[in-house]
Structure 1
């Protein structure tokens, strides 16, 4: 048991990958059980998204090395905004303070990906999925993987988290993203309460609606409070929600991995997406 514990502590990246893979797989089967489409239809959809693992994972693991180096440097030199917070040496203040700061940074990142046209071309690959389920979590263009991790390097440099705080934060973030993309929704009353603080599947489904203004709502990563503060909080009933993005609603385009990878490099009209 000690050897097993030691192995996992020394291979945190591998541990998290295995953990997330197990959660995603379990939720995928759970979705299939309650779905009326059957395994053939669900697999056809999920297989496209699953292929993004082979582009994202190597890049993620490579670039995360630099994130760890920056975190180590910041810790040694007592660098980062966390050091200006009173009582930051208290573990509760330290971890909660960093969690909130990094979550706000991810909100800024998400808004930037939507508002900056060159970045939006890569992010819309994620939004182009015409059916949102747990596999949509994996649907990220490799260029966005690089952009997202470079932004994370910047956030780590600005905030100065130690690696333990960063791992804790990334673990919560990953699970939140997985849950937010599932087909399962919370009951309306529960969502109304939980959604005041946290991003729920109900709220994230609104973000995946194919048209504005809903596409530009609910940018939150783990916490929904930023959407409330900055006026980007939105609600939409399940029956009114249509997944996808209005410029790329062709099933043939979105159903083939190679075609999806090419999307950012192709010209397209966006009369309804004035950004």
Structure 2
């Protein structure tokens, strides 16, 4: 157990990838078996989304180096908001408050991606998936991956987030992102309770409904409290009322072609 812990701490990027892959594969199999999805259709859909790993993962891994450099510099110079808060050296401030602030930053990033037109043209690649399932998690344009990591570098610089809180944050974010995209939904009562604090699959399914105002609801990443505070929260939509995708890009043929999806931001930039 100790050797496993040491490996996880000394190889954060590799550990994240392994965790990511393990959870996605497990949920993918459960979706296929329990929900009785056609294996042929699921393989075809998953293959299209999985190809994005090949374009986004190298960008993510490369830019993680700079995130860690910034975190190390901040720690060495006691730079960032977390260093000027009361009890800055306490675990409570470093990890709990650090996690809360990073989660708020991720909420802010998500809102920006929806509200700034050039950024939305990139982000709608993720929203254009007409069959939301766990593989949708990896459907991200490589240019958005680059942009997302640039924002993360900015947040780490401003907050002075340590390596430890980044590791905690990224681990919980990995689990939250994957589970929120699964086809499975929580029972209404359970969703009502859990969603008081956390983003659930039910909440994120609303966010992937193809029309406004639902596309602009439930931006939260791990915590739902930001949506409640800033009036972007929507409790739930019945499954029968949800249509996945984005209303400007509902062509099944275009959304099934990896190359066509990659071109979306450039074909829509002047629209």
TM-score of the aligned structures, taking structure 2 as reference length: 0.96
Tell me the distance in 2 between the aligned counterparts of 1:146 and 1:9.
24
Matches within 5 A, 1:1-275: 6-234=6-234, 235-267=236-268
After superposition, the Cα gap between the structure-2 partners of 1:269 and 1:11, relative to the gap in structure 1 and judged at 3 Å, is closer
After superposition, the Cα gap between the structure-2 partners of 1:6 and 1:93, relative to the gap in structure 1 and judged at 3 Å, is closer
Deviation at 1:16, TM superposition (A): 1.5
Count of residues paired in the alignment: 270
Deviation at 1:63, TM superposition (A): 0.6
Tell me the distance in 2 between the aligned counterparts of 1:45 and 1:133.
9
CA displacement, residues 129-160 of structure 1 (integer Å, 9 cap, x when unaligned): 00111000000000000000000000000111
Deviation at 1:6, TM superposition (A): 4.3
Of 162-171 and 203-212, deviating more is: 162-171
Tell me the distance in 2 between the aligned counterparts of 1:221 and 1:209.
17
Contact 2:107–2:221 (CA under 8 A) maintained in structure 1:
yes
After superposition, the Cα gap between the structure-2 partners of 1:119 and 1:89, relative to the gap in structure 1 and judged at 3 Å, is same
Tell me the distance in 2 between the aligned counterparts of 1:13 and 1:196.
31
After superposition, the Cα gap between the structure-2 partners of 1:246 and 1:269, relative to the gap in structure 1 and judged at 3 Å, is farther
Structure 1 spans left out of the alignment, 5+ residues: 271-275
Corresponding residue SS for 2:220:
coil
Deviation at 1:38, TM superposition (A): 1.9
Question: Aligned Cα RMSD in Å?
Answer: 1.5
TM-score of the aligned structures, taking structure 1 as reference length: 0.95
CA displacement, residues 26-80 of structure 1 (integer Å, 9 cap, x when unaligned): 0000000022332111111111000000011100010111000000000111111
